[in-house]
Amino acid sequence: MEIDRVELSDFRNYRRLSLTPSPQLNILAGLNAQGKTNLLEGLGVLLVGRSFRGAKAVEMLAWGAPTAYVTGDIRRGETVRAIRRSIAQREDGRWGVGGGGCAWTRAIGFGWPDLAILTDSPDFHLRVARRLFLRGIPVVYLVAPQVWAWRKGRIRTIRRNIRRLLCIFPFEEQFFAHERVSASYIGHPLTGIVRPSLTRDEFFRKHRLASSRPLVSVLPGSRRGEAARHLPALLDAAERLYREKAVNLVLPASATTGVGFFRERMGRSPIKVIEGESWDAMAHADLALAASGTVTVEAAILGTPMVTFYKVTRPSWVAGKLLVDVPFYSMVNLIAGRALVPELMQEQMTGERLAAEAQRLLSDEGARREMQAGLAEIRSRLADPAGVPPARRAAEIVQEILEGETVHVSLPS
């Protein structure tokens, strides 16, 4: 079977998106929160019939839509079969996937490849890797699944089905080596692209910020669900900060949330909402209030001191405490191997705590410089130790595997 066409309607941040695969090469690429994971989830719904329930199903609906649809044309020989699946709330109040069924596709697009490169989205791609392995096709997996934090049972699947893991965090190579998984650290791709496009003076003039006041960048998360959970505490913290110290507060809205989502919730808050420009907002900030995630890695690369936070639903937090096994929640602290930046998680994430940590860092130049020195170390660790750009290092590994050459693999002695 082959995929002729896939269309998403009211799915995630897509009102409508259509993809027609190429017979030569198919690439799903994009920066964080720009859609590649969403599209892969759509393919998973279409081809596997995987059911998403509760909050997860709600997240997969475009904002305000009652039902999301995934439509595809599946070809078997000369026969083309149209399949349509829906994600909606049923009469009994539960959420699930409905629509016609379809077995797994025989191939990823058209014909069998000589080598497959899978990236991220382990729920979908580890199933793909299993099928490819059974066909004797080597699999290179870019962005290793975070099994060092949770779902460690996947390690056996990875060890059996993946020829090489390409890791983007420095501690991962050693972890996987200990688990007898072939892994190579290639550096983090963000180190070569995260930089401001404006000078500080240009950014301040563009957004009419007071040059004499420190800048605090407010980063509530790139998705509407998480941003909505974080906003009440952030608005409270902003009011407290503004009363205690004259500061500029800027919130760069992501493409997936949009400026309107935040502006209609700001009320009389001193926070200025701008469209995009998150790297400029972080690079020129004296401090960032950052939701735990990729944005904290970006802030570390830019050398911006930060206070990290995150909040989930109560059931998710309880389940996470049982399933997740990490010494820190923030990726910055995991890379540093110590509590470099404050972490305010769940009940600790209050406006009072956020404002107190922010005031401490804004008023203590020594603490800020110490944090900046630690962030500089992280930036150095995120770069490939040989100075080779991550994409080039990944391409070299793929080429060597294709040519059957022996490449460096970090394994325990």
What per-residue confidence (pLDDT) applies to 82?
Answer: 72
Tokens of 50: 């995987």
Could you give the count of Cα atoms lying within 13 Å of 98 in the half-sphere of its Cβ? 10
What's the rounded mean pLDDT across residues 254-264? 85
Kindly give the pairing relationship between strand 116-119 and strand 14-19.
Answer: unpaired
What per-residue confidence (pLDDT) applies to 254?
Answer: 84
pTM given for the model? 0.72
Tokens of 387: 């100075």
Q: Is the pLDDT of residue 31 over 60?
A: no
Cβ neighbours around 413 below 10 Å, total: 3
What per-residue confidence (pLDDT) applies to 29?
Answer: 37
Phi, psi dihedrals of residue 358, rounded to the nearest 5°: -65, -45
3-state secondary structure of 388: coil
pLDDT: which is higher, 82 or 117: 117
What per-residue confidence (pLDDT) applies to 69?
Answer: 75
In the predicted model, what is the mean pLDDT of the chain? Answer: 80
Q: How confident is the model at residue 361 (pLDDT cuts 50, 70, 90)?
A: very high
Tokens of 125: 């791609």
Q: Is the pLDDT of residue 35 over 50?
A: no
Q: How confident is the model at residue 2 (pLDDT cuts 50, 70, 90)?
A: low
Q: How confident is the model at residue 63 (pLDDT cuts 50, 70, 90)?
A: low
Give the amino acid at 229.
R
Q: How confident is the model at residue 268 (pLDDT cuts 50, 70, 90)?
A: confident
Query: What's the pLDDT tens digit per position in 68-79?
Result: 777 777 666 666
Do residues 86 and 98 touch, judged by C-beta distance below 8 A? yes
What per-residue confidence (pLDDT) applies to 400?
Answer: 84
Give the amino acid at 281.
A
What per-residue confidence (pLDDT) applies to 54?
Answer: 60
What per-residue confidence (pLDDT) applies to 101?
Answer: 45
What per-residue confidence (pLDDT) applies to 53?
Answer: 55
Strand locations in 168-243 (E):
183-185, 215-219
pLDDT: which is higher, 244 or 91: 244
What per-residue confidence (pLDDT) applies to 344?
Answer: 94
What per-residue confidence (pLDDT) applies to 99?
Answer: 63
pLDDT: which is higher, 290 or 148: 290
CB-count exposure of residue 75 (10 Å: 0-12, 13-18, 19+)? middle
Query: What's the pLDDT tens digit per position in 225-249?
Result: 889 999 999 999 999 999 888 899 9
What per-residue confidence (pLDDT) applies to 286?
Answer: 95
Least confident of 161-165, 206-210, 353-357, 398-402: 398-402
Here the contacts of 379-383 (C-beta below 8 Å, separation 24 or greater) are 379/191, 379/300, 379/301, 379/303, 381/170, 381/335, 382/169, 382/170, 382/187, 382/188, 382/190, 382/191, 382/297, 382/300, 382/301, 382/335, 383/187, 383/188, 383/191
Radius of gyration of the chain measured on its C-alpha atoms:
23
Tokens of 411: 């394994």
CB-count exposure of residue 361 (10 Å: 0-12, 13-18, 19+)? buried
Tokens of 390: 């991550």
What per-residue confidence (pLDDT) applies to 250?
Answer: 95
Cα separation, 83 vs 73, whole angstroms: 6
Least confident of 202-211, 232-241, 313-322: 313-322
Cα separation, 1 vs 168, whole angstroms: 34
Percent of the chain with pLDDT over 70: 76
Place of tokens 């490169």: 117
Query: What's the pLDDT tens digit per position in 364-402?
Result: 999 999 999 999 999 999 987 677 788 888 888 888 888
The residues near 20 (Cβ < 8 Å, ≥ 6 apart) are 4, 5
What per-residue confidence (pLDDT) applies to 412?
Answer: 45
Strand locations in 220-322 (E):
248-253, 272-275, 287-291, 306-310
Q: How confident is the model at residue 27 (pLDDT cuts 50, 70, 90)?
A: very low
Least confident of 39-48, 279-288, 371-380: 39-48
Phi, psi dihedrals of residue 58, rounded to the nearest 5°: -65, -40
What's the rounded mean pLDDT across residues 56-71? 71
pLDDT: which is higher, 267 or 378: 378
Domains of the chain and CATH, by start: 1-111 (3.40.50.300), 113-187+384-413 (3.40.50), 200-382 (3.40.50.2000)
